[in-house]
Amino acid sequence: MTPSLTRTLSQIRRAEPVRRYLFPALSTLMLVLLEPVLHAVAASPNAVPALGLCALIHWAGDRETRIPYWCAFILGLLADSLNGTPAGLYAAVFILAQAATRFLSYKLDIQHFNTRWLLAAAVILAAALVMSLGVAALSSVPRLPPSLWTYSLVTIAVYPLIAWILSLAADPRH
């Protein structure tokens, strides 16, 4: 092997952990931080999708990248503090969504994007149910807030765009 080829392969090996672990976590963090900003400028807070949840589901369904569960928990706690939800609610939703997406992606061997979108929709709806029940149980509101269902439908509609942007950012060759 030539020295330049060896050097290039060494650089690729060093960049691999960044591509597999750090980039997914940082991109999800950016979207978690962007969500409350969009809530502040949006005419209706229900029109803002759960960007962090979309990113988390996207990365959990990808076989090459990983966000560790502890990182998903920390991102969920950050989302709780930024969105004003009861402490631990987003954290629990993020961990459950990541676990469900990973399990179903591997068990069903999902390769086609339409199937991944259907899986994401199911996970987003389940996350909305958990969020609704959590908000109803942990707050003084004894009923399920209808806004979380609108929030989930908007999130399902935006998921393909978020997944496409994250895929392009992770690997610009595609």
Residue 100 pLDDT: 94
Alpha-carbon distance values, 109 to 63, 64, 106, 122, 169 (Å): 10, 14, 5, 16, 24
Closest Cα partner for 169 from 58, 50, 48? Answer: 58
Q: pLDDT by residue (tens digit) across 69-93?
A: 999 999 999 999 998 888 899 999 9
pLDDT of 44 reads 78
Confidence of residue 111 (pLDDT cuts 50, 70, 90): confident
**Confidence tier at 10 by pLDDT (50, 70, 90):** low
Residues contacting 156, CB < 8 A, separation 6+ = 120, 121, 124, 125
Instruction: Tell me the C-alpha distance between 172 and 174, whole Å.
Output: 5
Higher pLDDT, 142 or 105: 105
Write down the pLDDT at residue 76.
95
Over residues 35-45, the pLDDT tens digits come to 999 988 987 77
Q: Pick the residue with more confidence: 15 or 46? A: 46
* Cα–Cα distance measured from residue 102 to residue 106, given in angstroms and rounded to the nearest whole number: 6
Burial state string for 22-45 with b = 16 or more CB within 10 A and e = fewer than 16: ebbbebbbebbeebeeebeeeeee
Per-residue pLDDT averaged across 96-108, rounded?
A: 91
Q: Residue 117: is it exposed, middle or buried by C-beta count within 10 angstroms (0-12/13-18/19+)?
A: middle
Share of the chain above pLDDT 70, in %: 82
Tell me which of 1-5, 83-87, 103-107, 135-139 is least confident.
1-5
Alpha-carbon span 110 to 11, nearest angstrom: 31
CA dist 143 → 82, 114, 126, 136 (Å): 23, 34, 17, 6
pLDDT of residue 1 exceeding 80: no
pLDDT at 138: 79
Q: What band does 159 get if pLDDT is binned at 50, 70 and 90?
A: very high
Give tens-digit pLDDT for 127-157.
998 988 888 787 776 555 567 778 889 999 9
